[in-house]
Structure 1
Amino acid sequence: MLDETTKGVFTIAVTPFLPHGALDFDSIDRMVDAYIARGANGLTILGMMGEAGKLTAEESVAVVRRVIARSSVPVVVGVSAPGLAAISALSDEAMDAGAAGVMVAPPNTLRTDAQILSYFQDIAATLGKTPFVLQDFPLATGVQISTTVILKVVETCPTCVMLKHEDWPGLEKISTLRAASDAGARSISILCGNGGMYLLEEMLRGADGAMTGFGYPEMMRRVIDAVNAGDIDHARDVFDAYMPMIRYEAQPGIGLAIRKYSLARQGVIAHPTLRKPGAVLTPAATAEIEALAARQRIRLAQLGLADEASG
């Protein structure tokens, strides 16, 4: 079960589709195996980059059951929805299937600190004993959650055990939360997102790891291992080797298409399909990805690291 001490890499999983848009269950199995082989301590499914909003309720449950049945590591399920009834229903399905916890982002209707706090208190009451992750991603949700509100949620909602930190810029938020816990506030796990764009600095500010996706998921494991070993120079070298691809994948609007292309070229999933509506890469874009991948292999070889991609 997810708790306040959770650390490491929880890879945000894509949702694989066949070319005509149906769920690709064979690729789900292969993807789960690949993420774990590349260092995931856990998996997070049905997040914003998992195209959760494009799935029917029945498809969501099918994905949850398939991933959990295949996985040998804890699985967190994104259950965000406009209403509490839908959140409760999917959360119950997920926990019955063996999930370690669920993740909830605030709806874009929240405007004030009081509304945000009340919402997550309602979430805690709705979910009961189920541990949950507070997803703080204002660039996507439009909801700005201050450190003061996060600390109040943590204080009043014992089942909030993790912050998925995706504020941008947000490094000072990590420092403030850690200072508060050092001063006696309840400490929870902080795993960071944004495709790993700031992972190195986030770890140095006191984050516990990553909960994000990237077309080369082993990057998170390698950077975090180096930081935890105290080898900051090596962590910087590894991070630098991947940074051109991280930067390219971070493009708004087409980032998921880039990630799925990278995963498909490595054989992690069979097809780079996004369910419609979704971005389609041009030949120029795929050529840029190939050039970046070639340079990345050279940089990794210079560091004595194997390129885990098969593409």
Structure 2
Amino acid sequence: MLWALQVKVAKLTDNEKTPKISETVISSAKNIPITLGTSGGSSFTVINRSIEAQKLGAAAVMVSAPPMLKPNDDALLTFYEKLGNSIDIPIVVQDYPETTGVHMSLSFIENLVERVPSALYLKLEDPPTPNKISSIRQRIGDRMEIFGGLGGVYLLDELARGSAGAMTGFAYPEILISVCELMNNSSRDEAEAIFYKYLPLILFEGQSGIGISIRKAALHLRGFISSPKVRFPGANIDPNTQSELESLITKLNL
């Protein structure tokens, strides 16, 4: 997954975006399907970004709801329908009302599956996510794969309710992968042991307002990125939080 939310990609210049996308897709050598976030404020913007993503080799695009002054399920359905008619790759629909201000109701999701066949995936970030997964499954069965987000904080229960996994930027994805694999193998006790061991780190990284800076600091400590700096006006990690992060990582033997 590359650039889930425009709040992140917006900090890149236009000259930076395309080369980075191309480099990522090429380096994956088609062995790793790349989903590109192409959200925007209008159908025109989203469609053009999504067409470009398809040309660059993306396996799918992820699109959140555009800003809307008033709830309008018909307009939102038309928005995704136009997108689906414009590209030949699947759509990951991002349900993230905290950021978009748009709530996707159960009836909307049910109608979406009927009207937009390429909307094959849902990234669900509307807590309580386990409850919503159960409700969606009752409405549409398995016609749409559901992934959690929100740093993976609800992953264990989401999997138990029928999610396919998580799409999130947590700095230690191998932990989440282990939980998913164990749950898929009906080894819930082992999955719980791993999940609850590392839950303090998941929660620490997910702190509102500074989560991105903590995540970048963790990735920097792992040697995955050259700098933990967050572009202004984003807040960089402060010395106390950095120390707390390093202490937690040490205690978890990571």
Query: Which TM bucket (shorter chain)?
Result: over 0.9
**Per-residue deviation, 1:50:** 7.5
Structure 1 counterpart SS, 2:32: coil
Give the letter for the 1:237 counterpart.
A
For residues 55 and 76 of structure 2, the distance between their equivalents in structure 1, rounded to whole angstroms, comes to 28
Amino acid at match of 2:54: M
Instruction: Give 1:235's aligned amino acid.
Output: A
Structure 1 match to 2:79:
119
Is 1:107–2:66 an aligned residue pair? yes
* CA–CA separation in structure 2 for the residues paired with 1:147 and 1:250: 27
Equivalent residues, number? 251
2:17 counterpart of 1:57? no
8 Å CA contact 1:49–1:256 kept in 2: the answer is no
Equivalent residue number for residue 195 of structure 2: 239
- Residue type matched to 1:92 in 2? I
Of structures 1 and 2, the one with the larger relative CO (CA 8 A, separation 6+) is 1
1:177-227, Cα deviation, whole Å (9 max, x unpaired) = 112234xxx611111100001000000000011111101111110100110
Q: Is the 8 A contact 2:6 2:38 kept in 1?
A: no
Conservation of the 8 A alpha-carbon contact between 1:139 and 1:168: no
Equivalent in the alignment of 1:133: 92
Partner of 1:271: 227
Note if contact 2:6-2:40 (Cα within 8 Å) is conserved in structure 1.
no
The alignment partner of 1:279 has SS state of coil
Counterpart Cα distance in 1 of 2:6 and 2:77: 25
Aligned twin of 1:221: 177
> In structure 2, what is the Cα distance between the partners aligned to 1:95 and 1:281?
35
Aligned to 1:3: none
| Mapping for residues 127-276 of structure 1, pairs under 5 Å | 127-182=86-141, 187-276=143-232
Residues 53-112 of structure 1 show CA distances to partners (whole Å, capped at 9, x for unaligned) of 222333221221011011130000000111223222222222112110101111122522
Hey, what's the Cα distance between the residues in 2 that align with 1:262 and 1:123? 36
After the TM superposition, which of the residue ranges 87-96 and 136-145 deviates more from structure 2? 87-96
Q: Indicate the RMSD between aligned Cα atoms, in angstroms.
A: 1.6
Deviations for 1:107-157, whole angstroms, at most 9, x for unmatched residues? 1225222332232223223x3323111000111111110111011011100
Distance in 2 between the 1:49 and 1:231 partners?
Answer: 37
| 3-state SS in 1 of match to 2:67 | coil
State which drifts further: 80-89 or 93-102: 80-89
How much does 1:49 deviate?
8.0
| Structure 1 consecutive aligned stretches of length 4 or more whose deviation exceeds 6 Å | none
Please give the alpha-carbon distance, in whole angstroms, between the structure 1 residues aligned to 2:6 and 2:42: 20
Tell me the secondary structure at the aligned position of residue 229 of structure 2.
Answer: coil
The AA in structure 1 aligned to 2:128 is: P
Q: Deviations over 1:30-69 (max 9, x none)?
A: xxxxxxxxxxxxxx10222881122233322122101101
Letter in 1 for 2:16: E
Letter in 1 for 2:26: A
Does the C-alpha gap of structure 1 residues 84 and 49 become closer, same or farther in structure 2, counting only changes over 3 Å? closer
- 2:2 aligns to what? 45
Aligned to 1:290: 246
For 2:76 and 2:44, how far apart are their aligned partners in 1?
18
- Report the 3-state secondary structure (helix = DSSP H, G, I; strand = E; otherwise coil) of the residue aligned with 1:55: coil
Separation in 1, partners of 2:245, 2:6? 19
SS in 2 for 1:238: helix
Pick from 55, 59, 62: which aligns with 1:96?
Answer: 55
Gaps of 5+ in 1: 1-43, 298-306
Q: TM-score, normalized by length of structure 1?
A: 0.77
In the TM superposition, what is the alpha-carbon distance from 1:274 to its structure 2 partner? 1.4
CA contact (8 A) 1:65 1:94 kept: no
8 Å CA contact 1:161, 1:188 repeated in 2: yes
Which stretch of the first structure deviates more once superposed, 51-60 or 268-277? 51-60
